C-alpha cells in the first residue's frame, strides 16, 4: 500500500498569511494526487486534482504543485473561510489512500 504523509498535522495562521501544506508518498505516484478541504461537520470538497489542476469554482488563492513523491498545497492569502482540515489522496493504485490530514486553525 502507498502511504501518504502530510506535514504539519496542524498549524495556526492569521488571515492574510501564506500557508503551505506538504504531502509525501511512500513511492512514486506520478501526478495522481488530489487535495480536499473539509470543514467541521461537513463532507470533503475537492480543491485540486492531478496535483495542480484547480477544481472549477475553487478560488485561485489555492494552488498545488509537485510530482513523483513530493507535493504541496499552497494558500496564497488565508481567508476566514479557509480554516478547515485538508487531505491529500493518491489515485495511482489500490487502495486509494489519504494523508492523515492537516488542520488549519486561527492564530
Task: Give contact residues for other proteins (rule: CB under 8 A).
Answer: 32, 34, 36, 38, 43-46, 49-50, 55, 87, 89, 91-101
- Residue closer to other proteins by CB (options 27, 77) is 27
Residue 2 main-chain phi, psi, to 5 deg: -85, 125
Minimum CB distance to other proteins, residue 26 (Å): 16
Q: Minimum CB separation from other proteins for residue 52, in Å? A: 13
Q: How far is the CB of 22 from other proteins (least distance, A)?
A: 16
Pairwise CA distance, residues 70 & 65, whole Å:
9
Q: 49 or 71, CB closer to other proteins? A: 49
DSSP state of 15: T
Specify the residue, 60 or 94, whose C-beta has the smaller distance to other proteins.
94
What the block records as the C-alpha cell of 51 is 496535483
Whose grid coordinates read 500500500? 1
Smallest distance, other proteins to C-beta of residue 49, A: 4
* Cross-strand pairs, 23: 6, 71
- Cis peptide bond prior to 57, omega within 30° of 0: no
Amino acid at each position: 500500500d502507498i502511504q501518504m504523509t502530510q506535514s504539519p498535522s496542524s498549524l495556526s495562521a492569521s488571515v492574510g498569511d501564506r500557508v503551505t501544506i506538504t504531502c509525501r508518498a511512500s513511492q512514486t505516484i506520478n501526478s495522481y494526487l488530489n487535495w480536499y478541504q473539509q470543514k467541521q461537520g461537513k463532507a470533503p470538497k475537492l480543491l485540486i486534482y492531478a496535483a495542480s489542476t484547480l477544481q472549477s469554482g475553487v478560488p485561485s488563492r489555492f494552488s498545488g504543485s509537485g510530482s513523483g513523491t513530493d507535493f504541496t498545497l499552497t494558500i496564497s492569502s488565508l481567508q476566514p473561510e479557509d480554516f478547515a482540515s485538508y487531505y491529500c489522496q493518491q489515485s495511482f493504485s489500490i487502495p486509494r489512500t489519504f494523508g492523515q490530514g492537516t488542520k488549519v486553525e486561527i492564530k
